Amino acid sequence: MAINNVSLNKLLKMLPRTLRQRESIIRKDAGEAVLKERSTDNKDGGDFYGVFWSAAKKYVLNGTNVRDVVQQQIRKSKSKRRLYPILLEGFFRWYAVHHAASRPSKRKEITGAFGRCPGLTGSGAVRVHNLLAWTEGDGTKHIVYPYFDKDHALGPRAARLGRWAMINALPDHDAASMAILDVLRGQVYDNDNCPLSGDEEEMLAERYGQILNEWEVQKRLARIR
C-alpha cells in the first residue's frame, strides 16, 4: 500500500525506526508505487499476517479454533514455522489476561468499524481498517487494531499516536473502547495504560508529513532510473 494512502500499521512501523531504516522502507515503497504506475498487473501478494488475524478475529467472536488455521499455514509454507507460533503465543497471552473470562457466545461483532484519519496532511491519508470489534454481553465495547512487526515493538509513544488516529478515524465509536495490540508481544495499549496527552495530532502530522515528502522525492528518483 502506497505511503500516501497508508495503513495505520505501516505508518506505525516506521515511527520507531531510525532515519536510515525509514529511508530504506520509503525507497522500497516509492519504487513499488512507480512500478504499479507502469504496469496493468495489480495483483497483490499474499498477506502473511492477514491470514492469522482473520483466524484470530473468528476465535474471539465465535470460538473458531485458531490453532488449526496456524497448523494448516505452517504445513503450506516452511517459512511460517517460526513466526506463526510466536503470533499465536502473543495473541493468547493478551486474550488470557484481558478477555478469557467472558464467553464468545455472548459477544456481538461491531460492523462498520473502519475509516480514514482526516486532516493530517494535504496529500496523504491514514487508513484504519481490519479491526477486531465487538460488544460483550454486558454492553462493554472493544475495538482492537493489530500491530505487526517482528523487528520492533510498538512502544507507548507510537501507540499514543496510533490511538489518536483510531479515535479520529472512527468518530462514531467510543474512544475509551479503542486499543492497539502488538500481536507478537501480546502487549495492548488502551485508554488505561496509554491515555492521550494532547499533542498527538501535531506530532503525527509532522512525522507523517516528513515521510510523505521523502516518499515523493524517492518516487521522482525512481521514475528516472
- pLDDT tens-digit profile of 83-132? 888 999 999 999 999 998 888 888 999 999 999 987 676 767 899 999 99
pLDDT tens-digit series, residues 160-178: 999 999 999 999 999 999 9
Is residue 211 one of the residues assigned to a domain? yes
Question: Confidence band (pLDDT; 50, 70, 90) for 185?
Answer: very high
pLDDT for residue 45: 35
Confidence of residue 46 (pLDDT cuts 50, 70, 90): very low
* pLDDT bracket for residue 219 (50, 70, 90): confident
Radius of gyration of the chain (CA): 18
**Domain membership of residue 161 as a residue range:** 5-42+105-223
**Stretch 189-194: mean pLDDT, rounded?**
96
Would you say residue 54 lies in a domain? no
Q: Check if the beta carbon of residue 9 is closer than 8 Å to that of residue 148.
A: yes
**Residue 223, phi then psi, degrees to nearest 5:** -70, -25
The dihedral of CA 207, 166, 174, 157: what is its sign? negative
Give the Cα separation of 9 and 26 in Å (integer): 14
Other CB atoms within a 10 A radius of the CB of residue 55 amount to 21
Q: Is residue 174 part of a domain?
A: yes
Residue 91 lies in a domain: no
The answer to whether residue 167 sits within a structural domain is yes
- 48/174: higher pLDDT: 174
Q: Can you list the pairs that 64-70 forms with residues at least 24 positions away whose Cβ atoms lie under 8 Å?
A: 66/91
* pLDDT value at residue 44: 37
Edge-first strand order for the sheet with 108-109 is 108-109, 132-135, 141-147, 178-182, 187-189
Mean pLDDT of 75-89: 81
Residue 58 lies in a domain: no
pLDDT at 26: 79
Across the range 50-63, mean pLDDT stands at 92
The pLDDT score that the predictor gives to residue 92 is 95
User: How would you class 167 by CB atoms within 10 Å of its CB: exposed for 0-12, middle for 13-18, buried for 19 or more?
Assistant: buried
- Determine contact, residues 166/11, Cβ cutoff 8 Å: no
List, for residues 140-160, the tens digit of each pLDDT value: 999 999 999 988 899 999 999
Grid coordinates of 52:
492469522
pLDDT at residue 85 in the model: 86
Q: Domain for residue 16, yes or no?
A: yes
**Burial track 126-155 (b if 16+ CB lie within 10 A, e otherwise):** bbbebbbbbeeeeeebbbbbbbbbeebebe
Residue 70 domain-assigned?
A: no
Q: Summarize the confidence of residues 202-220 as an average pLDDT.
A: 86
Task: Specify the number of domains making up the chain.
Answer: 1
Are the C-beta atoms of 7 and 148 separated by less than 8 Å?
no
Q: Could you tell me the sign of the dihedral formed by the alpha carbons of 99, 49, 7, 187, in that order?
A: positive
